[in-house]
Amino acid sequence: MQGRRLATTDEIIAIVSPNSDDVVARLESWTTARDITLSTVDVGDEIDERYDPNRATLGITIGGDGTFLEGIKTFAPRNVPQLGVNTGTLSFLARVEPDDLNAALDEVVQGRAKVDSRQQVAVTGSSVDATGINDVTVKHVPPENPVDSKVTQLDVYADDEYIGEFEGTGLAVSTPTGSTGISLSANGPIHYPVDNHTLQLVPLHTHQLGVRPIVVSPSTELRIVTRGPATLLVDGGRTHTRLETGESVLLTGADRLAHVVRTSYDDHFFTAIAKKLGWGIRAVDDQPSTPRSETDRALGSGPHSGTISSAIPTATEADPANPANPANPAKSSSVADAGETGSRSDSPAVPSTGRDDRTTLEYARTVATEAAEAAGEPLRELHGQVDSITVKSDKSDIVTEADHQANRIITTVIDNEFPEHGIVSEEQPRRNRADGYTWVIDPLDGTGNFAHGNPNYSVSIALLDCGTPVMGVVYVPETDELFSAIAEVGARRDGDPIETTDRDRLDESMLISGYDPDGTFLSHFYQESRGVRRLGSAALNLCYLASGSADATWEHDTHPWDIAAGLVIARAAGATITDERGEPFTFELETDDRTALLGSNGPLHPALLGHLKTGLSDRGADR
């Protein structure tokens, strides 16, 4: 889950431990001031009557790690991201202190927090079907007679390969999150939990010195067979059952991840380790500064996105006089320090105020990348529902909801970062800045494909400078491809440079057709080329031209939001873009006139244009 998606939060459900009235009062004041719905429930109570799956919900736990685990049990099955406020004692998971709650929440609703999607472990058997974020333990049952055996014997298999017999107190199968609990006390390794999707098998009080912890992938099926009665506990007893002799249970990585929200006000993982466990290789407050270049490389909320959180003042930092939200200079380092790494945007963190500064456009590309990927999440989720729907009106409702959700995420993120910029979207009234920066957005290009379960749809986001497209991002949710470019700088796909082909012969070229109402382009080029394909997304057509997947593309007429981002990407990759007469294509934001677009790799353009003109002349003569 992308942290930018949290910018659309309009409902908070808080699971509250006893003696937390002061923190709840602070949360109530914050939500009231921002017109966000708040519901509170006591630990252990159900949230069904309060939870609305159609709203953008944030889960909050107020308590220690026990309350946090209850939150995971409640929120993770509903795919709700969760923020933990620490009012407990030994807390590794709930890391926001009450005094930092308001500032941390400001960061969340500004879309500047990160979401750490944690691996869970699932266990199934004849007497159990449960999921945990920490661990599953299988241990001996204390005998009624103290002289009877206190040893558990367990046979363990990994994907049907026999590991061996474990003899001792039992076994713990832990996630990376749970590696600091029981497994650590049993001499298991500490796992850095962020972006770590593994499971580890740790023997408890083993009677054999050679038995060591084992790390496996989350897809590995661990089968445990008891040789005597045993007790199985999930996350310290939140689910528990008795296993009889010969009973078998299957453990593997859960399909559903737990989404943990991290802000710059959280204690970092190793800071928490130093505070709670006396991590001996650093003092609690020993935090050497990180060189800027290393910080840039650490940005991101997944394998693709950068983040600009560290350099942007939060509402509290921008308003030091606000006593309700005191700034926290000690924790103003990058949100990425909460753990996420990897970047597909490689952008500097600080936006420039200069009108023509390259840094401004790099910063805009980072924001657009994060917004597009965040918008892609609900599109994928809703796209997965289309095939199971047979009623046309219901399909229409899903497409409308997909458009709405994606548009809301993108526009909220842009408004948060660039409140002075204009926004033009297919889904809302125009707010054009003819003499400044304006964003042009198509949250779902390829609506027809989407409605029929076809994966060829995209998210298109462009930035105009005084009416000229200067930055473009196109994201393909179903393939996780991201195309981006800055005018006159270069284009790339998933961070790698791309360029057009160099073919100059029609009979060697692959062409793409967009809207072609009477089939002129198809009929005149199909036999002359290696084929004409129609994908159903103008933005994708231009990106595939840019990346060399096609040699040319044609659109009978265009809408500005369909092509703004793709134009930047194609031109930056070396494409030639003209109208049907061969005149340079002129992008017009405020027009209802038909504007044809012919794009090619460049060398092919003369042959392409000549053949197209012949086709158009023949069409006119036929009429």
Closest among 161, 132, 157, 171 to 253, alpha carbons compared: 132
CATH number of the 358-498 domain = 3.30.540.10
Q: How confident is the model over 455-506, as pLDDT tens digits?
A: 999 999 999 999 999 999 999 999 999 999 999 999 999 999 999 999 999 8
Establish whether 10 is a catalytic residue: no
Which two structure tokens, joined as six digits, stand for 289? 């500064």
- Report the half-sphere exposure of 103 (CA within 13 A, side-chain side): 26
Pairwise CA distance, residues 366 & 311, whole Å: 13
| Cα dihedral: 1, 68, 257, 195 (round 10) | 70
Q: Which residue has the higher pLDDT, 55 or 592?
A: 55
Supply angle C-alpha 434, 439, 441, rounded to 5. 130
Name the pairing type of β-strands 490-493 and 496-498.
antiparallel
Q: Catalytic: which of 65, 106, 116, 296?
A: 65
H/E element holding 461?
Answer: strand 458-465
- Looking at residue 584, the DSSP 8-state letter turns out to be B
Closest among 393, 395, 522 to 449, alpha carbons compared: 395
Instruction: List the domain boundaries for the chain.
Output: 3-116+263-338, 121-253, 358-498, 506-622
Does 562 count as an annotated binding residue?
A: yes
Pairwise CA distance, residues 436 & 310, whole Å: 26
Quick one: CATH architecture of 121-253?
Sandwich (2.60)
What is the CATH topology of the domain spanning 506-622? D-Maltodextrin-Binding Protein; domain 2 (3.40.190)
E strands along 205-298, which residues? 214-216, 222-226, 230-234, 239-243, 248-253, 258-262
Work out the burial of residue 594: count CB atoms within 10 Å of its CB; fewer than 13 is exposed, 13-18 middle, 19 or more buried: exposed
Query: What pLDDT shows up at residue 79?
Result: 94
Query: What pLDDT shows up at residue 344?
Result: 59
Average pLDDT over residues 359-387: 91
Supply angle C-alpha 66, 6, 430, rounded to 5. 165
Supply angle C-alpha 483, 485, 489, rounded to 5. 145
Q: How confident is the model over 164-218, as pLDDT tens digits?
A: 999 999 999 999 999 888 888 888 888 999 899 999 999 998 888 888 999 999 9
Average pLDDT over residues 295-321: 36
Pairwise CA distance, residues 308 & 366, whole Å: 7
Pairwise CA distance, residues 134 & 405, whole Å: 33
Cβ(167)–Cβ(153) below 8 Å: yes
Query: What pLDDT shows up at residue 594?
Result: 75
Does 66 count as an annotated binding residue?
A: yes
Among 227-236, 306-315, 582-591, which stretch is predicted with the lowest mean pLDDT?
306-315
Q: How confident is the model over 60-110, as pLDDT tens digits?
A: 999 999 999 999 999 999 999 999 999 987 678 898 999 999 999 999 999
Does 235 count as an annotated binding residue?
A: no
Q: Which residue has the tokens 């946090």?
A: 68
Q: Sheet containing 552-555: give its strands across.
A: 532-533, 511-513, 552-555, 597-600, 576-578
Pairwise CA distance, residues 48 & 423, whole Å: 37
Does 285 count as an annotated binding residue?
A: no
Does 579 count as an annotated binding residue?
A: no
Pairwise CA distance, residues 109 & 7, whole Å: 4
Kindly tell me if the per-residue pLDDT of 362 is higher than 70: yes
Does 150 count as an annotated binding residue?
A: yes
Quick one: CATH architecture of 3-116+263-338?
3-Layer(aba) Sandwich (3.40)
Pairwise CA distance, residues 525 & 494, whole Å: 31
Q: Which residue has the tokens 């038995």?
A: 211
Pairwise CA distance, residues 238 & 131, whole Å: 10
Does 426 count as an annotated binding residue?
A: yes
Does 394 count as an annotated binding residue?
A: no
Give one word for 495, left, alpha or beta, with left for phi > 0 and alpha for psi -120 to 50.
Answer: left
Q: Which residue has the tokens 């949230």?
A: 47
**Length of the chain, please?**
623
Q: How confident is the model over 519-558, as pLDDT tens digits?
A: 778 777 877 778 788 899 999 999 999 999 999 998 988 8
Cβ(599)–Cβ(571) below 8 Å: no
